[in-house]
Structure 1
Amino acid sequence: MPTEPLSRTLSLPDEAATARLAGRLATVLQPGDLVALRGDLGAGKTALCRALIRSVTGPEAEVPSPTFTLVQMYDTDIGPLWHFDLYRLSGPDEVIELGWDEARAEAASLVEWPDRLGPLLPADRLEIALTHEGPAARRAVLTGHGAWAARLDALDLPAPDRE
């Protein structure tokens, strides 16, 4: 029987708070996981991805945005990590050409603009929807789908921000 999605809301008053969330995510992320990041342009998707990647590679790691390359791959403490930015794609067929099947088989994946995946979006995933709350502040709604619903509490989010 499918698990109902579970959501938690977290206020991120600044980029340091976003980095702390990314650090918590890094402690539970494992090969095969998919984190789908939603939000308008400038909502903080790439900032969260960069902070997470640096959490598992080291603070000095160069983490370019995959906006133009579409995907970046990293060898990390948790195994391979692929960072996809699908903004410029028109549909799921183009994702396959980027190595999607390989990434799903062996790596953890961070996916910006996951709506471009269409039917390739896996049932087991963590979705993070980011919205602006002020010049530097963001609101993150984390929704665990499938197996991620049970794992969401492992992120140990602060109780006052939970819904």
Structure 2
Amino acid sequence: MSRSAPISRFLPDEAATLALGGSWAASLAAPLVVYLHGDLGAGKTTFTRGLLRGLGHNGAVKSPTYALVESYPLAAFTLHHFDLYRFSSPEEWQDAGLDDLFGRSVCLIEWPQLGGEFVPAADITVQLENAEAGRMCTLTAHTPQGQKSLEAWLN
């Protein structure tokens, strides 16, 4: 499937990033693979924190940079938040057995390009970039499942 028309939102501050993630939460359904793109400090984990809050998670949400993955069992599905920043080769994906976490879950993957061909294809990409005094967030669907999620969010 070709990519859908991107959806862009300007986020003036951290609160707006949290709110955007929270607003998308109600339209998420598993299985779904979401790539989170952006430089260090662009707001990928903040976006994830907002999403998890919108899904009803009240506990801590931390960056999985050192743990590689943080998993959040929720009522409807488990959300796995991956961070591949420390990968030195794509084969580390297989070595860590990360494929076992896919299927009936929502998976958010930071730095997916570092997992090479081992990382499952994205249903949606979320691009966070510094812009003016805040961030620009662009969401793009790549599959029918991704398109369905974004359409539900917009409606």
Assess, with a 3 A threshold, how the Cα gap between structure 1 residues 57 and 102 changes in structure 2: closer, same or farther: farther
Match of 1:160 in 2: none
Match of 1:161 in 2: none
Which amino acid in the other structure matches residue 56 of structure 1?
Answer: L
Q: Identical aligned pairs, as a percentage?
A: 37
1:12 positional shift: 0.9
Q: Cα RMSD over matched residues?
A: 1.8
**C-alpha deviations, 1:62-111, integer Å up to 9, x for none?**
11211111111111133111110100012332123334222112321111
Match of 1:74 in 2: 72
1:11 positional shift: 0.8
For 1:37 and 1:124, locate their aligned partners in 2 and report how far apart those are by CA, in whole Å: 10
Assess, with a 3 A threshold, how the Cα gap between structure 1 residues 91 and 149 changes in structure 2: closer, same or farther: farther
1:1-150 → structure 2 map (5 Å cutoff): 3-6=1-4, 7-58=6-57, 60-135=58-133, 137-147=134-144, 148-150=146-148
- For structure 2, the 5+ residue unaligned runs are none
Residue 108 of structure 1 aligns to a residue whose secondary structure is strand
The answer to whether the 8 A contact 2:123-2:143 is kept is yes
TM-score if structure 2 supplies the norm length?
0.88
For 1:92 and 1:25, locate their aligned partners in 2 and report how far apart those are by CA, in whole Å: 30
Which amino acid in the other structure matches residue 81 of structure 2?
Answer: H
TM-score if structure 1 supplies the norm length?
0.84
- For structure 1, the 5+ residue unaligned runs are 158-163
Residue 46 of structure 2 aligns to a residue whose secondary structure is helix
Q: How many residues of Structure 1 are paired with residues of Structure 2 in the alignment? A: 153
